[in-house]
Amino acid sequence: MKEAGGRIKLWIVEELKSYVRESKGNFSEELQAPYYEEPIVQFAAADDPLFEEYKTLIGPDHATPREVFERSFGPGSYGGGSVISVVLPISEVIRRANRAQKDGPSREWALLRTFGDEYFLNEIRGHLPAYLSSLGYRAVAPLDTDWYSIQGSASGPVSNWSERHVAYAAGLGSFSINDGFITEKGIAIRLFSVVTDLQVTPDARTAASHAGNCLLHSKGICGACITRCPVQAISKEGHDKIACMKFVYGQASRDWAVANGGDAKWGAGCGLCQTKVPCESRNPMRTAR
C-alpha cells in the first residue's frame, strides 16, 4: 500500500511539473518567458493536529481539511486524506526586472500579477483536482469554493484557508518577517493547495521554527526586506498588512496594471520585498549555518 502511495505521489509531482513546463498559460509572449519555474510539491496528512491549532493561531473560521472536504462532498464523506501543497517559483526574468525597482513593481511583475497570479494559478489549481479525479480520488481546491473568503481585521486581511500555513504544514518552508514564505526556492513564489481523500505518507517539517528560514528571525541579521519596502510597511517587529494592502491594491497600482495590459481589479502587485533579498530564490539558512 505504501509502495502504491509512493508511486502516486511521484505521478502527481511529475504531472504538475509537466503542466507548468508545457501549459501555454504559463508563458508570456510579451516577455518571451514563463511566469513560473518548476514547482515543488509536498504532502501533509489531512489529520495533522496542526490544522486544528490553526483555529487558535489564525482564527476559529480557518477550515480544517475535514471541514473543507465535507463542505464539498457532504457530511460524513471524510475518511482521511492528504493536503497537497504546491510552490510555484517566479521566473528569473520577472525577478530580475523587479530587482532594479525601488518605488514600485516592474512592468514584468505587473504582467505576472494578472496573467500569472490570477489566470494561470486559477488554471493549474483547477487542473490538479481533475487529475486526481482521473486517478479515482476526490479533491477540491479550497480557494475555488463558494465559502472561501478573506475578512478584514484590526491587523489586516485574514482568510479562512491560508496557503502559507498549509505550506508550512506540508514541510515546504517557514515564514519571514515580512509575512512571506521562504522555501528551498526562496520567497519569490506563489502557493496553492488541494485537499483530497488520497492517503499518502506526509512529508516532514524540517524548518527549525515557524520562521526558521528567515535570517532576521533566526540570526538577527539581514532585514533587507525592510529597506526594500516602498511604504515602510515592514520593520523588525513585523509586517503592517494594512499599509501593504493599500499600496498593492491602491489606485496607482491599478493604473499601472492597466497601463501594462493587466486587470485593474488585481492591481500590479509589488514584490520588492521578495526580490533583491538573500531569500529571493533560495533558503538563506543553507549557507548561514
Reported as a single tens digit per residue, the pLDDT across 172-229 is 999 999 999 999 999 999 999 999 999 999 999 988 899 999 999 999 999 999 999 9
The predicted-structure confidence for 34-71, as pLDDT tens digits, reads as follows 999 999 999 999 999 999 999 999 999 999 999 999 99
φ and ψ of 68, to 5 deg:
-55, -50
Mean pLDDT across 268-279: 98
Mean pLDDT across 228-256: 95
pLDDT value of residue 154: 74
Please state whether the predicted TM-score (pTM) of the whole model is above 0.75.
yes
pLDDT value of residue 287: 75
pLDDT value of residue 1: 45
CA Rg, the chain, in Å? 19
Rounded-to-integer distance, Cα 210 and Cα 212, Å: 6
Strands 40-45 and 158-159: unpaired
pLDDT value of residue 289: 53
Residue with grid cell 541579521, as numbered in its chain? 221
Per-residue confidence band for 288, with pLDDT thresholds at 50, 70 and 90: low
CB contact burial 206-236 (16+ within 10 A = b; e otherwise): ebeeebbbbbbbbeeebbbbbebbebebbee
- Domain boundaries of the chain, sorted by first residue: 2-288
Handedness of CA 261, 262, 267, 270 (dihedral sign): negative
pLDDT value of residue 4: 62
Q: How many CA within 13 A on the CB side of residue 59?
A: 16
- Alpha carbon dihedral 214, 215, 216, 220, in 10-degree steps, equals 140
Least confident of 2-16, 25-39, 93-107: 2-16
Per-residue confidence band for 265, with pLDDT thresholds at 50, 70 and 90: very high
Per-residue confidence band for 5, with pLDDT thresholds at 50, 70 and 90: low
Contact 268/109 with Cβ under 8 angstroms?
Answer: yes
Per-residue confidence band for 284, with pLDDT thresholds at 50, 70 and 90: very high
